[in-house]
Amino acid sequence: MVMGTDGPGFSRRSLLRGAGLVGLGGLLSGCGSALAAGVAGTAPPGNTLSYWNLLGGGDGLRMQAMEQAYQKQHPKIALSSVVLAWGNPYYTKVSLATLGQRPPDVAISHLTRASILAQAGLLEPLNKSELAPYGLTGGNFTPAAWDMAHTNGTLYAIPLDTHPLVMYYNTDICKKAGLLGKDGRLKNLDDPAALTDALTAAKKVTGAYGGVISINSDTATQWRFFSSLYYQLGGSVLADDGRKIVLDEAKAEKVLSFIQNLVKQGLIPTSVDYPGAITTFATGKAGFYFEGDWEITTFQTTKTPFSMTAFPNVFGGRYAVQADSHSFVLPKDPRRTDAMRQKIFVFIRSLLGQSGTWAQGGHIPAWLPFQKSAAYDKLNPASNYKQVANYVRYDERAWYSGSGSDFENIMGFAIGAVSAGQMAPAAAIADMKSRLAQYANTPSPV
């Protein structure tokens, strides 16, 4: 039965409040389906555990395997798992379901989005003393992720992983290009010239491109690439919870000019979408591929001769690379009992105990008992870049920021225009600042 908008805890004002959580764009798109999801849910029976996530592809398959393992361990609990569309549609539905008092018992959230949900009062705080019996304490998690799981000093999320931008490389191409050391690993590329020279050498072997980054309709990847370089220069974009734009024009122009030079030299394609970038690397038309760590399964399936390593420290200084983390959160539910909370923590602990399965998808497990294990060290190439987990930079907190957000779309659009050779760096920076200012000058809708 669909509850009317005059049902308990749900009003037009709360609907607008929930839609506002995902930014102005989220309010104007997908709100119809989000409303249906938000109010059509039913309260789970005592022996049912409802779990929402946004995990597709290889991540989705691995999560399903982990859920099945939990179900075997706890056959008397009916696990109701729902997978929803990635990005703003997902967070809209979580928000509206919570406002409608029909939330899932537990949900996956990027840490950058968990902070927004927490500030909106849509997540239940986690009491560290109640987590201790399950080992869900700070000492068992990657420090950077655990710190990001807090909002205003309060814990609201349990990290599952860290997924940074990484560098994939074709081992056959790099060997022919003289880029591998005696140990078969890629030589150090921590310098603008070193990376450019490596891409040039790879291009001579492929006859096509040195590297590839998806551009068309992919603002997220463009943002990850730019921000990793920009963060290495010590730059920031937002301050004061997004109310101030502090983009350093000189540093941004340095990064965009570097990207522009790669384009002008024909080292990376100027027009390629996400699937096209994957194909370009998988078929040996590029020696390098810059993307998040989750495409490991794709290249294992295509039997591409490849490995993975940390994104290079191109501009020196303190190492930094853009990343986010999947985490577990408890959407606020006034009916949730202590017994249900204990059931949820058992579920979370079960999935963390299967970090070996999750790590096969390329993500760095946040669960230190596995991250520090010999078993993980043997998981190559997935463990090759585990050292970066504590040097990552999360998107700065703002009501319009985070994975799949309007912030990423604004930044990625301008960066992509430079990558495509359609916009000069100075024009791209002006576009970024102008469009971000509209959000910075708009009060948070929550």
Domain ranges of the chain: 12-159+326-365, 165-323+394-440
Tokens at 285, concatenated: 């038309």
Structure confidence at residue 5 as a pLDDT band (50, 70, 90): very low
Tokens at 8, concatenated: 């308990």
Please determine whether the domains at 12-159+326-365 and 165-323+394-440 fall in the same fold group of CATH: yes
Q: Return the CATH class of domain 165-323+394-440.
A: alpha beta
Q: What's the pLDDT score for residue 8? A: 31
Region label for 182, one of left (φ > 0), alpha (ψ between -120 and 50) or beta (otherwise): alpha
Q: What's the pLDDT score for residue 46? A: 57
The CATH number of the domain covering residues in 12-159+326-365: 3.40.190.10
The pLDDT of 430-446, averaged and rounded, is 93
Cα–Cα distance list, 67 to 49, 81, 132, 347 (Å): 11, 8, 23, 9
Say which residues have a Cβ less than 8 Å from residue 300's Cβ, sequence separation at least 6: none
Residue-wise pLDDT tens digits, 99-127: 999 999 999 999 999 999 999 999 999 99
Residue 271, amino acid: S
Cα separation, 41 vs 211, in Å, equals 46
The answer to whether 30 touches 89, Cβ cutoff 8 Å, is: yes
CA 182, 188, 192, 196 torsion-angle sign:
positive
Cα separation, 355 vs 370, in Å, equals 7
Residue 15 pLDDT > 70, yes or no?
A: no
Structure confidence at residue 319 as a pLDDT band (50, 70, 90): very high
Residue-wise pLDDT tens digits, 254-282: 999 999 999 999 999 999 999 999 999 99
Q: Locate the DSSP E strands across 43-160.
A: 48-53, 78-83, 106-110, 150-151, 154-155, 158-159
The pLDDT of 280-293, averaged and rounded, is 98
CA 152, 153, 159, 164 torsion-angle sign:
positive
Residue-wise pLDDT tens digits, 50-106: 999 999 999 999 999 999 999 999 999 999 999 999 988 999 999 999 999 999 999
DSSP codes joined into one string, 180-228: B-TTSSBPP--SHHHHHHHHHHHHHHHSSEEEE---TT-HHHHHHHHHH
Number of H helices, E strands in the chain: 20, 16
Residue-wise pLDDT tens digits, 370-423: 999 999 999 999 999 999 999 999 999 999 999 999 999 999 999 999 999 999
Residue 7 pLDDT > 60, yes or no?
A: no
Q: What's the pLDDT score for residue 87? A: 87
Residue 44 pLDDT > 70, yes or no?
A: no
The answer to whether 363 touches 166, Cβ cutoff 8 Å, is: no
Using the structure block, give the residue that is written with the tokens 């920021």: 401
Q: How far is CA 71 from the centre of its chain?
A: 27
